[in-house]
Amino acid sequence: MVEVRGLKKRYGDKWAVNGIDFDVKKGEIFGILGPNGAGKTTTLEMMETLRPIDGGTVLIDGIDVAKEPQKIKYIIGVQPQSPSFQDKTRLTEVIKMFAAAYGEKVDPMKFLRDVDLEDKAKSYVEDLSGGQKQRLSITTALVHGPKVFFLDEPTTGLDPQARRHLWELIKKVRDRGISVVMTTHYMDEAELLCDRIAIMDNGKIIAIDTPKNLIRALLKRGFKKEQHVEQANLEDVFIDLTGKGLRDA
């Protein structure tokens, strides 16, 4: 679905992205990991038509992003790092506007139901919690039925319940056959959610595989972690005590 070949981006005389290659298959969750400044967001933005490509190509469903950005916009959905909406807009109106941006008329309630926001339909966006805004943003990015869905650090700043809920949503999106490309700083998120991951550093991809294979390869190289045979971690305790129910109602 997505083919990236020799992709490059330069800021001043520094290559923020320095010749990367990867493919994303239909209906998989592909994670891009890396420390700050590794070039994750820049890579995403070039694929989303937000930034000019300085070298290499990105093909999405066979269409060249650099040559036909307007066509690309119809087949991608974008979730920004911190989604925000204009005040005094009702949730139904947000959906209506985004659908209209693609020239389409949709039933806003259907899309709100997809992300469990139907009882907030008449609220203004400024009355939503962080997690609810993320969910609204996800559903607005899917109003036109895109083939590829990009998310930039979708769970940063959310509480454990909201994170889990969002993971489930992202999996549902994948199960509809949409390819998901996301960046994240959370290793647990990458391990649990992503079918394959690419690890970036200094503008280059230094490893690319399924999380399991990457861990196996590391162990094969003779890596040993101090053994703590614990059957639970603190997050398990937290979820056990506070439950999985969402708290932003």
Partner 1 sequence: MRSIKKSLFTVLTFVEVDTRRYFRDRLAIFFTVIFPLIFLFVFGSLNSGDNSVSFRVALLNKSDSEIAQQVVKQLKDGGILNINEDATTLEKAKELMIKSQLDATIVVPEDYGTVKEGEVAPSGQMEVIYTQNNDESGAALASVLKDVSSKIVPVEVPFTVKTEQLNSKSLSPFDYTFAGLLGFAIIGMGIFGPINVFPELKKMGILRRLSTTPITVWQYFLSTMISQLIIGVLSLSIMFLVAIFVFNLNVVGNWLELIAFLVMGTIMILGIGLALGGWAKNERQAAPLSNIIVFPMMFLSGTFFPRFLMPEWLQNISGFLPLTPVIEGIRLIATEGQHLWQIAPQLGMILAWTAVIYVIAFRVFRWE
Q: Which residues bind partner 1 (CB under 8 A)?
A: 48-50, 70, 73-74, 76, 78, 80-89, 93, 96-98, 100-103, 105, 124, 144
Six-digit token pair at 42? Answer: 């820049």
Closer to partner 1 by CB, 7 or 44: give it. Answer: 44
The least CB distance from residue 219 to partner 1, in Å, is 40
Token output for 22: 């990867």
- Shortest distance, position 213 Cβ to partner 1, whole Å: 32
In this complex, which beta carbon is closest to partner 1, that of residue 94 or of residue 214?
94
Cβ nearer to partner 1, comparing 22 with 98: 98
Amino acid identity for residue 130 in this structure: G
* Cα distance between residue 21 and residue 32, in whole Å: 12
Contact criterion met (CB below 8 Å) for 165 and 245: no
Structure tokens at 243: 């439950």
Nearer to partner 1, 74 or 238 (CB): 74
- Taking the least distance from each CB to partner 1, the nearer of 83 and 203 is 83
| Least separation in angstroms between CB 240 and partner 1 | 37
What is the C-alpha to C-alpha distance for residues 154 and 169, in angstroms, rounded to an integer? Answer: 11
**CA distances for 208 relative to 59, 131, 213, 223, angstroms:** 19, 30, 9, 19
| Nearest to partner 1 of 18, 49 (CB atom) | 49
In the complex, the smallest distance separating the C-beta of residue 146 from partner 1, rounded to whole angstroms, is: 10
Closest by alpha carbon to 132, among 146, 147, 119?
119
In the complex, least distance from residue 113 CB atom to partner 1, rounded to whole angstroms:
21
Nearest distance from C-beta of residue 94 to partner 1, angstroms:
8
Token pair belonging to 56: 């290499």
Q: Give the integer Cα–Cα distance in Å for 175 and 154.
A: 18
Taking Cα atoms as reference points, which of 30, 53, 51, 37 lies closest to residue 203? 37
Cβ 27 vs Cβ 33: under 8 Å: no
